[in-house]
Chains A and B, each alone.
Chain A
Amino acid sequence: MAEEKEVLEPLPSLLADGIKRQVLAVQDYARLSFESLSDVFTPPFYWNDTLEQMDIIGVGSLPIIVLTGFFIGGVLVLQTAAQFERFGEAALTGDAVAIALVRELGPAITALLVAGRNASGIASEIGSMVVTEQVDAMRALGTDPVRKLMTPRVLAMILTLPLLTVVSDFVGLVGGFLVAYFTLRLGAVQFWTRAIHSLDFGDLVQGLAKPFVFAFIISTVACFMGLRVKGGTQGVGRATTSAVVVSSVILLVTDTFITRLLLWAFSK
């Protein structure tokens, strides 16, 4: 009995420790995120690092965004046209593709792709710096690692993801039009007129507000995972995976709430 008691006793304390660690992690994440944003407004500024990150995140992600955006637009037309043709309303394809892309698929898929490509890169880069004591060396040299490493990445992501989303939306519509033209024989005027007229101000706000929030989530989660790496190269691997998974899950959950909020705000 005594032995059983010894085995069972630590369980509540283990749970309590686990919960405490998670709460502390959330607290650290909130503090780091706030710090990274507040550093944008006070010197010293690392504009060169920010531009370099904008190049890595923005220009670097452009090919994959263009490629996927094009085919997502195309596949949307194929899927929706099949339904609309049943009712003899194939012309509505342009409306459906535009609304789906601008409101939801453009921001969400762009953010997921950028998270997959850049959250992993950011977490592994910063994590490697942590395990090789480069972050400690930076602190020892009197430089704030949050200001030097995190703020430029957060700022670069916030500035580039909305632009990437706009590109993705546009290329998606082009892809949709080409597929509609060749498969449904829809004319350019018909497709583009319906697509543009179907979008109102609320749709554009929805489509452009989301990338800012997603960018903040992706960059802060990736930097946070990188900065808290422990356990050498294995730890770097774990942080890289966590950065992609956690940022993707959080952004999809957040997407639901933002969508609900914006639909309510712009409801007619």
Chain B
Amino acid sequence: MTRATPFNGREQFSAPVPGETVIRFKDVRIGFEDREVLQGISFETVHGETKVLLGEGGSGKTLIMKMAAGLLRPDSGTVTVMGHNIGEMGEKELLQFRRYIGFVFQEGALFDSMTVAENVAFRLEEEGVHESEADERVRQALRFVEMESALERYPGELSGGMRRRVSIARALVDRPPIVFYDSPTAGLDPVTCQTIMSLILRGRDLQGATSLLATQRVQDAFGLANFHFDKNSGRILRDKTEAGGPAQTSDPANRAQSERKTSQLSESLSSAKDAKSATGSPAYDGGISTTNVLVLRDGKIYFEGAADALLNTSDEYLNEFLASAK
């Protein structure tokens, strides 16, 4: 149990430890103009976990992430991140605190008056990192997202997928312990979606960050839940069960259905380009990350659990999401 403590901007940041709750929402409510969008949201995310927020457009996925980053304040309830109550922190404290959070916005939100390199270097410059070191780290981050050739280009000259990749590089350049991905695959073609998801997967398994990922695509949730980045081979591999076979469902009646649903994801992710580790960042030794899914509906949590449990559901509404993966 993590206790909410007042944040002191001068205190040294202590990295979260395995098993520790990193993000906690307790009965959080927020609304705009007489409409309560989130009605009493409560959940916890532990260190190294990836929580996939699934839901229709306008269900409040982005609001959850913006509140977790302190960009919005809840009308009621508490949001605790790394032991600090976000609602009690002033804007100046939050600015300091957000340096430990990476945020990938829906459309990238790159600074359009800056080049790609300047965008990625933004946080490093703000932190006073020496120019030569910042330059090296920017190149590493852009190499990681395979955008090193676009260093001097402006965001306006890039495609939607390229902008998302640069945005991921900008969020990960400082290796933050927490990363938020706001609909990183929204509006992209299927091939680019796979590229983006494989980057997120690699980032997760190399840096071991605790993540929230908002999406409308159930494929993204299963991709993160069933695949991992293998550091030795430099490839994205499908997770194995203890028996050595592919992840199985507990109910034999649903097994065929589950395998059919995941086979498509398996093919697409396995056929993604070989992922060669180019970050130069220290490898994460926390093993394969946990991925859980949280489905939002009408301002409330409709489902929370493992991706497998979602796959086996007989709920009609949830099956609509699963059907979208076909």
Contact = CB atoms under 8 A, between A and B. Distances in A.
A138 B112 CA distance: 12
Interface of B: 66, 69, 71, 91-92, 94-99, 101, 103, 105-107, 109-112, 122-123, 126, 170
Given A44-B126, A141-B126, A142-B126, A133 B106 contact: yes
Nearest to A141: B123
Interface residues of A, number: 14
Nearest to B91: A144
A136 B107 CA distance: 12
A44 B125 CA distance: 11
Nearest to B70: A139
A20 to B, nearest CB: 14
Nearest to A136: B71
Given A133-B105, A133-B107, A140 B71 contact: yes
A139 B98 contact: yes
- Give the dominant DSSP class at B's interface: helix
A94 to B, nearest CB: 47
A132 B71 contact: no
A136 B98 CA distance: 11
Contact of B111 (A44, A134, A142, A144): A134
B106 A141 contact: no
A44 B126 CA distance: 9
Nearest to A133: B109
Interface in A87-143: 129, 132-134, 136-143
B109 A137 contact: yes
Given A139-B71, A140-B101, A142-B95, A132 B109 contact: yes
20 contacts: A129-B111, A132-B112, A133-B106, A133-B109, A134-B109, A134-B110, A136-B71, A137-B105, A137-B111, A139-B95, A140-B69, A140-B98, A140-B101, A140-B103, A141-B103, A141-B126, A142-B96, A142-B98, A143-B126, A144-B91
Nearest to B66: A136
A141 B98 contact: yes
B119 to A, nearest CB: 9
